[in-house]
Amino acid sequence: MTLSPRSFICVGTYEKGMIGLELTRNPTTNPQTEDDTLLYLSAPFSPQPHLGSVDTIAMCGSILATGCTDELIRLYDLGRMKEIGKCNEHSASLSAIALIERNQDKAMVSCDKSGVLYFWTSKKNGQEWNCQKGLELGHSYINELSVHPSAKMAIGLSSIDHCYHLINLQRGNIAQKVSVKRKEPLRHCLWADDGFTYILTCGKHFLLYDLRQQSDTGKEQPLIEGDLSFDVISLLFLDARTFVCGGEKGVWGIVCVKDGEGETPPSFSYHPLKTLSDRYFIQSVPHS
């Protein structure tokens, strides 16, 4: 994995603020070394704060969206380092936002804690947003979104009622609601780049799904599920059968899933990586 010469890290806080951090690499430094000066972190962007804690952030290209307990969505252009718009359709705290890019146009899905979803479109590079449709989920709400690589659908995770929703982004409706029989609340969801594979996590448990592998009843069933030794708080797919997961106190590692053959069921193996320290370094992760 390589680091682009210029990357942004956006941080929302409970103290109503949002900080845009810029991570740059010294082009004269050998990336194979472990020189502490390899990476530089600065904070060139600190926009006008919300009126409440920032609970959700989404980025797509140069566009950044933040959602807050003040029921407001703020939009920023990271290229120009300025705010470019606001969306105030919600009447409850924001719980999840996803930005979508379709050709040259932008779209957005936003969810709040009253169980309302809004679908937005923009045709001026994110500067003007129009609310196209709203949906109500009732007594539940979506706390995390992951957009399909095609930008035609998304997963919406609902921790309260232990389920996830498959959302049709083109029609603006819920295509399917799938219950997950776990005691722990669902915490994270993520699509793989192949467009068939996605993963859910709840505590130490993960469930890996493949849309090409359905049960005899036609219902969504995980291809494989398993437990790790730590609560998963972050995820990244390397490929459809390999993902990196991280937990608290610098614990992280790679999970490799092996497809089953014949009557042999799928299996997985966990490979711990070096515990993160207080030093900056680049860890190369080989994968096929």
What is the number of alpha carbons within 13 Å of residue 239 lying toward its C-beta? 8
pLDDT tens per residue across span 169-215: 989 899 999 999 888 899 999 999 999 999 999 999 999 999 988 65
Instruction: Give the pLDDT of residue 40.
Output: 65
Name the more confident of 51 and 163: 163
pTM here is 0.79
d(CA 211, CA 189) in angstroms, rounded, equals 15
d(CA 88, CA 85) in angstroms, rounded, equals 10
Provide the mean pLDDT of the chain: 82
pLDDT tens per residue across span 27-63: 555 555 555 456 666 666 677 666 778 888 888 888 8
Instruction: Give the pLDDT of residue 52.
Output: 75
Contacts of 140 (CB under 8 A, 6+ apart): 115, 158, 160, 161, 163
What is the number of alpha carbons within 13 Å of residue 41 lying toward its C-beta? 9
Contacts of 244 (CB under 8 A, 6+ apart): 235, 236, 238, 252, 253, 254, 255, 273, 285
Where do the domains of the chain lie, and which CATH numbers do they carry?
1-168 (2.130.10.10)
